[in-house]
Structure 1
């Protein structure tokens, strides 16, 4: 993977997007005001009704690849099944935009959501953050940043094998999809240098105080070179008094979550996610 030019990696991911089959009331793009040029987001509304909770989504891709089209079908289906509006974030990518660009964009969109903008018809008082892989790391870092700065907190955070710490904890679980070398390459593009990787904005697990973080659904894959580092973080959350639901899915690799309709584990996780949203966000 790391020998492939960035532009080619991005095109390969774009070409692999799942066909869109789920009907939805509305899906539209907005540019959220922020420095330097605003952040593009895509909003999914499952029905004509107003006042639904809002889930902010950050895509995977090692901070280097990915975008709004990547999870289109998955997010439409999740919006309909959970009965929530979803705001998908097109954060800036490395290496053109290194840390803290992606986190800054994510925080800007989160604060925009919590301001109750007229473009959103959902109930922004009932809002959560979610993400997959790099996007999961951004969700964790965003919650930590909001807590540390006294900003608006998510009601919950939903994280699919988010890299809670920029380190490889299970090199023996290397696969063709994600190797230790791949991880190092992605981190080199996004946050080069030891100092950057010890920043809680890159590695939320190094934050000293985790108390007061939102209820967390944290998913890991059995075959994943970052698995134990993320599960160690889940244990620290529990020790800090944070409500945590942590599931390790057997027989799957990093990247399985959005493979609904193709993997039974992905279908099971989809149901688990919908249930978590209903319990932790809809009824808050």
Structure 2
């Protein structure tokens, strides 16, 4: 498991599952000859994407960013369509660290699409229960409202199986929220109406988790947004803002979906100056 230190805070990437999604959808209107220079593609025009939660060790607290793709939530047909080759092993990852899902104090959900939220619940005796039973779960008020009342476009990604069992644990915020000292969530919109990003500041260091408005390192260009984004111009505006903030402050950027990099620090010319690469087994 790859790790990164931001001051006194340790980030550890867990194993949350693998999907292979259509490269054209992941890069929107960007021509294939351009994006394939940045990110490998297979003969089915699919790109490998992780769904790996990030565990934060902050003093005596354990905080999780996202929850993984979960287990036994999808039909075989959906797995084929979504290119799901491996489901979640988050609980096994935690066990390797001497922890259990009950040790998680807080879960930060940038948004509640199925590939981020399926891991919030699990099957036990033919019913769904909370995976992280002792955790407070944070998401924006806009995202939570759409999760419970999806529209005609979003109902395929907001599932009651992922929220009904955990609704008593959810705390929503409007605009921005400091979760604990140095860790904040900011509502951005863009990918979804309620999408948020996360910032971590400690001992003069900064990390920005852009979630799905910059799902991989290849989406560094502010104009490269996904066809999956509900509000692409908002994604572009927020990327402009947070890429400038990060580069001006020598920030790290972390990834949930990237199959090649866990985190990257760019200079003002967009060149990689430090990175944490994903180690392939």
TM-score range, shorter chain: 0.3 to 0.5
More strand by share: 2
More helix by share: 1
